[in-house]
Structure 1
Amino acid sequence: MFTQVNLAQMGCQNKHTFSTQSRLSRVKYLLNSYYSRRINYYIFIYLMANTIIDIEFRIFGNNRNFNLDEIVKEITYFKGTSYYINEFCMTGQYNCPKNNFSKIAMSMRSTCDEVFLNCTWNDNREFDCCKHFVLTETELGICYTLTMENESPDSDDYINMYSNRDTGPSNLLIKLSSPSQVFIHSVVDVPYYNTISTDILPAMMGIFKQYKFVIKDIENEDEVKFVGITQRRCRFPLENELVVSSKY
């Protein structure tokens, strides 16, 4: 039985401010289940405001209409609406970026080292966050992914994140340099725009939070696969033709 946890940074922040603050955002996950399962962790990153301004100066210059700043933010931090793009780009009023959107977004997002401060598994195993969290693209933007799919048993710093009745509950302690959000969903999902709000847990600066949950897996009857996709309104993994990641 599997579960999956995602972390998402909550907004644009000043990296210079965070570097001088002594308060740390710490999130601890205590995972408790009666079944063997794989635990996956994600973090969805927003970049700090200073970097955004620097990039916008390079793209549009000093004497620019500041509506262009909002256009770049809509490209980088999609939140379901694109007012400025529709108002000024689609009408041809501004000469907006027409390509290299990924490059623009990547140049404005925090690097892994700017996000993570410390990672510990089961209270006694500290590990290099950025060596194990792998960059993953989702419709919410760039994420950093920690999953057993990316762990190699032959590696010297292999982390066994399987938990079951014999091993007991597992926990992951992550110290972050900015406010974040935690996404909880099934192992076959990645963060997406319509994630139910109750599946998103906030992690604020200066606050230590501990979340505990028990996994109750649901297994479909064999006959479900014979029901049409349009009727059951969901897909099995082998029916998914979208190619977003080599793992999902």
Structure 2
Amino acid sequence: MWLYVYRVVMAYDLELWFIRTVLFVGVVSSLGPKLAMIRKMTNDLLLFIIIIVIFIFGYGITSRSMTAYGTFDLDGRQFFRNIVYPVYYFVLGKFDDELAQLDITPDVNTTIATQVMLAFHMLIVNILLLNLLIALFSNTINDVQTQAYHIWAYDRCAFIRDFYFQPPLFPPFRFLIWMVEFLRWWWHKCKNDDKNTKCFKMIPEIPYLDNEWSEFERFSTNDYIRYVLDSQIYKAANTITPDIS
């Protein structure tokens, strides 16, 4: 029993590892924006999943209550096998088994009601919701495409920063690096030395860019402070009510 559990866990872990290796493609300027598109499209897909789950449970439970009442037990495995999975495959266009099952007793009132519900379900899910999802994907792709280079640059910087702070050894040998880091931190803590803190800093390839970045940060800070002060003065002026009497 536990052997199968371990096998399933390792299989899912391997799948997640393969998915995570896609991040290494993000350092390529031509492929990095595509990963940003996938990430933003995943957010749209999550909203779509919430809506589609409601329709899946709605049609699955009501249709089985009319056509398959008492034919299976309502435990977890049977519930997903007979209600959730068949209705989910409607989204992929696989509904021949559903029609074949309804054609066994075509003149029964519950079968006719289920066919009407199936037509309504296919109209909403396979036409309306899927086209809505495609429209959301198109909008996301257009938004990312207009700022592809900047998105790639920021994602590449975040990717490098993430792996900069990662231990050089792979699991399960990372605890050795953590022990060394802890001893090093404890040693500097005893010496009251906080100068050896590990930090990430971007170094420009062209030397004069460092000065330009510093000037840009200074001007941006001044503009933000001026904006905050002006906002406070404006709010203070609006809160003062003149005494007409």
**TM-score scaled to structure 2, two decimals?**
0.28
Question: Which of the two has greater helix per residue?
Answer: 2
Specify the structure having the higher radius of gyration (Cα).
2
**TM-score scaled to structure 1, two decimals?**
0.27
Question: Which of the two has greater strand per residue?
Answer: 1
